[in-house]
Structure 1
Amino acid sequence: KANKKGYVYAEDATSSDPKCTFVQGKMPVVKLLAKQKVDVTLTAVMGQGKNHIKWSPGWPWYKKEAELKVGKVENPALLAENCPDGVFTIKGSSVTLNKDKLVESNLVEYYAELDSGISLQYTDNIIFNLESFGQLSCKKMLEVAADMLAGKAKEMEALL
C-alpha cells in the first residue's frame, strides 16, 4: 500500500514470508501523482524454468577450457591494440600471458588468428559458470538441480 506522491519502490512492499523479498529493493514499481494511492497484492510462485528461461533463478553457461601458447609474436603492437580483456601483458616486444584473465576471455580464437606466434588448443576440461538472479543462491540452485536430476534418474530406472 502506498498513498504518497512520488515513486513507490519494491522495498516498500511487505511480505508475510520473511524469506520472500525483492532482489532489487530500489527498483521503482510505480510513480504516484498527488492524491493517488495504490494497493496491490502479489503472488510469487516457485517454478523450474521448464517452459521459458524467464522463470529460471539464474543463468548457467559453460565452455571448453582454452590453452594459449605464446611463441614469437610478430606484431606485439597490433596485439596490444586488439587485446581489451587483459589476457596479454605487452612490454616492448615481450608478450606474456595472464592465465587468470584467460579463463574469462571470449576472444581466444581471435587472438590465435591475430598472430601466428599464438597457438590455441582446448583441454578436456569444461568451465561451468552460474550466475544467480537473486531468488536462490548458486549453491541452492545446484542442490535443487541435483535433486531434480536424481528424481529423473529414478523415473528412468523405474521404466527400465
Structure 2
Amino acid sequence: MTKLKVLSETDTSLRILFSGVNRAFLNSLRRTMIADVPKFAIDQMRVELGVFKNEETGELFESNYALSDEQLAHRFAMLPIPTFHDDFYFQDECPDCKDMVVDQRGCPSCQIIYTISSSGEDGGRSVVASEMNVIGDRRLEIPEAYGSIPLTKLYDGQVLHAYFYAIMGRGRDHAKYSPVSGVTFYSRQNGKINVKTRSKMLFDLNLNITAKDFNKEGILNDIDKVDLLRNDLNHVGSGTDLEADFNDAITLEDVEDEFIFQFETDGSMTARTCLEQACKELAGRFEALSNDFAEAL
C-alpha cells in the first residue's frame, strides 16, 4: 500500500516521504507536475506607442525602452500569475469562447488582463512586478512576495504603457506554463556504522552527528539527521586525507521502496494545490487508458 508523510511544507515548497512506491510512479508524478499541471501565464501583450504628456507637470514621455519587445514579453511571461483551477477554463474549453476563432477568444472565464503605466526618471528607475494592475478580481494581483521582480528599466523621458493577456496553459506547450522548479526525488537512506573503532574518526571532528544518534544496532534512521550525516561524511570521504583510514566505517544505505520527493512552485499556486492537481491529472489519464483497453478488449 502506498503511503505518504509530509516532512516539511510551506506555501511554495513541499517535501514528502513516499512508502510502497517505485521510481516509475514518482517519475510520472514529477513529469506531470512539470508538463501537465495547468497554470496561467501571460500569452500576449499590447504596447501603446507614441508620445504621452503628464497632465500635472506637462512633461513629455515617449514609449521607448532599452529592452526589445521580445525580451520584455519574455520577462512578463515568466511572472507567477495566481491560478485558481476551479474558477477558470482553458480557452478551447471555455463555454463562452470555445466556438470562436482563436484570435477572438478571451472572456473573464478564460483570460486575465493586466495593465501597466510606468515612467522613467533621470538616472533610470527599475519597473517591478508590483506596478502591474489586474482588471477585475483583486486576488489575481501579482503576489506581494514577488512584487519586487524587476522587469525593465526606464530613463528620463521614457514610458511604458501596456496591456497583458494571461491564459491557462500547460508546461508541455511552453516553459512559462510550468508551475514548478527543482522537482526531484531520491531514495530514503539510513546511516549504518560498519566499524565502530574507525567511526570515531568522524565523531572526533565534532560536526553534526555523534555516536549517540545511532541506535543499538548502529543504525541512524532519522531523516533530518541522515541529511546531516551525509554532509558530515564529506569530511572523511573521497578526496580527503582521512579517506583511506576511515574506509567506509559509516555508510548510507537505501531503504527499499521508500523515497523522498520534493519540489517548489513559482508562486502561482501553493505546493499542495500543485500536488493535488498533478494527482488529478494522472488519475484522469489512467482512467482514460483503462477505458480504451476495455473498448479494445
Q: TM-score, normalised by structure 1?
A: 0.75
Alignment of 1:36-115 (within 5 A): 36-51=158-173, 55-59=177-181, 60-70=183-193, 71-72=195-196, 73=199, 75-76=201-202, 80=205, 86=208, 88-89=209-210, 96=213, 99=222, 100-103=224-227, 114=243, 115=246
For residue 13 of structure 1, the aligned residue among 95, 108, 132 is 132
How does 1:122-133 map onto structure 2 within 5 Å?
Answer: 122-124=254-256, 125-133=258-266
Which structure would you say has the larger RCO, counting Cα contacts within 8 Å and 6 or more residues apart? 2
Structure 1's consecutive aligned runs of 4 or more residues displaced over 4 angstroms after TM superposition are: 51-54, 94-98, 103-114
Q: Kindly tell me: are residues 20 and 11 of structure 1, through their superposed partners in 2, closer, same or farther at Cα, counting changes over 3 Å?
A: same
Unaligned 5+ runs, structure 2: 1-116, 215-219
CA deviation map 1:48-93 (0-9, x unaligned): 222455532113211110011134216338x849x7xx4x34xxxx
How much has 1:41 moved relative to structure 2?
1.5
Q: CA deviation at 1:44?
A: 2.2
Identity over aligned pairs, percent: 22
Matching residue's letter, 2:118? A
Give, in whole Å, the separation in 1 of the partners of 2:229 and 2:174.
28
- Structure 1, unpaired ranges of 5+: none
**Aligned pair count?**
151
Change (3 A) 1:146 1:105: farther
CA contact (8 A) 2:191 2:229 kept: no
Q: Does 1:26 align with 2:152?
A: no
Q: Identify the residue that residue 157 of structure 1 maps to in structure 2.
A: 290
Distance in 1 (alpha carbons) for counterparts of 2:178 and 2:272: 15
- Name the larger-Rg structure: 2
**Shift of residue 144, structure 1, vs aligned partner:** 1.0
Displacement of 1:143 after TM fit?
1.5
2:54 corresponding residue in structure 1: none
